[in-house]
Amino acid sequence: MQIKRRQINRILNSDKVLYGVFGIITSILNIVLFQVLIWTGLDYRYSNFITLVVVKLAAYLCNKNFVFQSKSGSRLELLKEFCRFVVARGATMIIDYFGLIFMAENLRADKFISKCLITVLVIAINYFVGKKHVFKTNR
């Protein structure tokens, strides 16, 4: 019984499961905030940009504190980690931002559906980039 409990805890606390949980939460925030800003009459490009900035900051906090449980020994380490995050997520933010514009304007796809599809792609890329390049410290 004790062994199974440890195995279950290990699975539930694995970074993949936690990334999935927080990925779902930030993805919901991403899609809902985007749609709310659209409903206010804001152009979809501005709505997407604002949403991406808010979601990237929320993702940093979630990934640092809950998913990868990264500990920074100094302010300089924290700054370096945050800079790596900004560079990595900035790259996927470009994919997210221009991918939506491409799908909406060139493919004439629905903006909401396009946002959802691009979000799934970006989640997968972000996991690998975060694990390998951003949050390098061990638990």
Question: pLDDT tens-digit profile of 42-75?
Answer: 999 999 999 999 998 998 888 888 877 888 889 9
Write out the two tokens for 120: 């799934």
Task: Judge whether residue 11 has pLDDT over 80.
Answer: no
Number of domains in the chain: 1
**The pTM is what?**
0.75
Asked whether residue 97 is domain-assigned, the answer is: yes
Asked whether residue 56 is domain-assigned, the answer is: yes
Q: Tell me the average pLDDT across 77-97.
A: 88
Asked whether residue 107 is domain-assigned, the answer is: yes
- Return the higher-pLDDT residue of 127 and 57: 57
Structure confidence at residue 138 (pLDDT): 47
Domain hosting 73: range is 2-134
Asked whether residue 139 is domain-assigned, the answer is: no
Q: Tell me the average pLDDT across 25-38.
A: 94
